[in-house]
Amino acid sequence: MSTKLRLTILSFLQFFIWGSWLITIGAYWFQTKQWSGAQFGAIFSTMGIASIFMPSLMGIVADKWVNAEKLYGVLHILGGVVLCTIPMVTDPGMFFWVILLNMIFYMPTLALSIAVSYSVLKREGLDVVKDYPPIRVWGTIGFIVAMWTVSLLGFEKSASQFYVAAGAAILLGFYSFTLPKCPPPSKDTPSRSLVDALGLKSFALLRDTKMLTFFLFALLLGAALQLTNAYGDTFLHDFDKVPAYQDTLAVKYPAIIMSISQISETLFILAIPFFLRRFGIKQVMFFSMIAWVLRFGLLAYGNPGPGLWMVILSCIVYGMAFDFFNISGSLFVETQTTSSIRASAQGLFMMMTNGFGAVLGSSVSGVVIEKYFTAADGVTKDWQGIWLSFAGYALVIAVLFIILFKHKHTAQEVPETAEEPLLTVEQA
């Protein structure tokens, strides 16, 4: 089996796990359990809370002490076991803690999967900018397959979605032990300071103004990502209360409609190398922010009937919104750091996006929606107002980013073979 195929399987299963429940948990929460919106915001904040410390911590462990592929496997097996217990939870308070425990195991695997893939590709003499996106696109396909599987099996409102995710997690955990070895790059490097000894060297990147600005905007965009993940599926489910829309495809199988977002991702992922080399990270990230404005704005005026085209177009736009921020951001971090801290640097990026960003997006949005966009009955929501407020948030970020992020694109910014970074910790 070729190296690229092995990494493709890793990427597919990595996101199949998440796709099995991330988009449909809202339907399970609101439609089946009928728990409150404010509490749901807390549930989505679990991935943010876990991402604040776990990706960086596990990145440090992978950089200094344990093979990345082994650590990756253990985390997935533990996460799969926790997923199996979720259907047994009947109290929203306990649900929070169980989901948090699962996120503690899952969130660091996002950064580790990138670190493992980059390490293996570079060892084979391949170019991560050119060769990683076609591999990563299979993660998106895995996410789509998971959403379709859950939807077609009728599990969107069922706890069975968590069993599907658990099976994939345990399978990936054992599979990871067969991957090429990724030993800790800093294991035999003598520590010159307490920062080195604790594996915190990647945080020195924050001393560089450009990198600090980049990470702060990554945090703000991470908040936008959680908004669409948390509310997209249940937004379409809410239309089943309207007789004119009850029998439409979008209401019956909303996860399938929302999966168009991931299908769009597959196209934009493959376009990333061209856009990065042609426009540079600043413009690519700006394109992402404008795409978020369009994503939310189209949802504000879309519906499962005559306005279905707006919902579908919003899903297509999502591909650019997500990929041009998330995938391009990880490639940018990869080209800006030394090999000795790459796993922990990816963990730092994940901490900002899926950590602080997720906490900001999920917790604040839950409270705001409950207070300003929920009717007196505590159930009916003003979805147009919700999506327009999200669009306004993304627009403000875009304007601030183009003003504050000082970065000049050069032809050498994303070289064909990125052996050495353009920005080292010492330069930071």
Which range among 8-22, 30-44, 53-67, 137-151 shows the weakest confidence by mean pLDDT? 30-44
Residue that is written with structure tokens 């003598």 in the block:
190
Residue 421 main-chain phi, psi, to 5 deg: -75, 160
3-state secondary structure the chain: CCHHHHHHHHHHHHHHHHHCCCCCHHHHHHHHHCCCHHHHHHHHHHHHHHHHHHHHHHHHHHHHCCCHHHHHHHHHHHHHHHHHHHHHCCCHHHHHHHHHHHHHHHHHHHHHHHHHHHHHHHHCCCCHHHHHHHHHHHHHHHHHHHHHHHHHCCCCCCCHHHHHHHHHHHHHHHHHCCCCCCCCCCCCCCCCCHHHHCCCHHHHHHHCHHHHHHHHHHHHHHHHHHHHHHHHHHHHHHHHHCHHHCCCHHHHCHHHHHCHHHHHHHHHHHHHHHHHHHHHHHHHHHHHHHHHHHHHHHHHHCCCCCCHHHHHHHHHHHHHHHHHHHHHHHHHHHHCCCHHHHHHHHHHHHHHHHHHHHHHHHHHHHHHHHHHCECCCCCCECHHHHHHHHHHHHHHHHHHHHHHCCCCCCCCCCCCCCCCCCCCCCCC
**C-alpha–C-alpha distance, residues 359 and 42, integer Å:** 8
Say yes or no to pLDDT of 70 above 90. yes
C-alpha separations of 46 from 98, 160, 206 in Å: 10, 20, 25
Residue 374 main-chain phi, psi, to 5 deg: -120, 130
Residue that is written with structure tokens 């209360």 in the block:
241
**C-alpha–C-alpha distance, residues 269 and 264, integer Å:** 9
Say yes or no to pLDDT of 419 above 50. no
Task: Give the model's confidence band at 425: pLDDT under 50 very low, under 70 low, under 90 confident, else very high.
Answer: very low
More confident site: 251 or 73: 73
Q: What is the pLDDT of residues 143-163, one digit of tens each?
A: 889 988 998 888 888 889 999
C-alpha separations of 345 from 110, 112, 218, 276 in Å: 13, 11, 13, 20
Q: Is residue 348 part of a domain?
A: yes
Kindly report each contact of residues 390-394 with a partner whose C-beta sits within 8 Å and lies 24 or more positions away, as own/partner: 390/224, 390/227, 390/228, 390/296, 390/365, 391/292, 391/293, 391/294, 391/295, 391/296, 391/297, 391/300, 393/223, 393/224, 394/224, 394/289, 394/292, 394/293, 394/295, 394/296
Q: What percent of the chain has a predicted confidence (pLDDT) above 70? A: 87
Say yes or no to pLDDT of 195 above 60. no
Q: Name the domain count of the chain.
A: 1
Q: Is residue 420 part of a domain?
A: no
**C-alpha–C-alpha distance, residues 20 and 170, integer Å:** 14
Instruction: Give bridge partners of residue 374 from the DSSP assignment.
Output: 381
- What pLDDT is attached to residue 415? 42
Q: Is residue 112 part of a domain?
A: yes
Q: At 157, which CATH number?
A: 1.20.1250.20
Q: Is the dihedral of CA 330, 101, 152, 167 positive or negative?
A: positive
Q: Are 368 and 240 in contact (CB under 8 A)?
A: no
**C-alpha–C-alpha distance, residues 363 and 47, integer Å:** 11
Other beta carbons within 10 angstroms of residue 161's beta carbon come to 30
Among 388, 353, 351, 348, CA closest to 368: 388
Q: Are 217 and 281 in contact (CB under 8 A)?
A: no
Q: Is residue 410 part of a domain?
A: no
Other beta carbons within 10 angstroms of residue 195's beta carbon come to 14
Q: What is the pLDDT of residues 22-49, one digit of tens each?
A: 878 877 877 777 777 667 767 777 877 8
Q: Is residue 40 part of a domain?
A: yes
Domain range for 161: 3-182+198-404
Residue 241, both tokens: 């209360």
- What pLDDT is attached to residue 301? 94
Q: Is residue 418 part of a domain?
A: no
Summarize the confidence of residues 264-287 as an average pLDDT: 85
Q: Is residue 122 part of a domain?
A: yes
Summarize the confidence of residues 221-232 as an average pLDDT: 75
Residue 289, both tokens: 């922010």
Burial class (CB in 10 A: 0-12, 13-18, 19+), 208: middle
Say yes or no to pLDDT of 65 above 70. yes
Q: Is residue 80 part of a domain?
A: yes
Name, in order, each residue with C-beta under 8 angstroms of 426's C-beta and a sequence gap of 6 or more: none
Which range among 7-21, 160-174, 321-335, 386-400 shows the weakest confidence by mean pLDDT? 321-335
Instruction: Report the chain's mean pLDDT, rounded to a whole number.
Output: 82
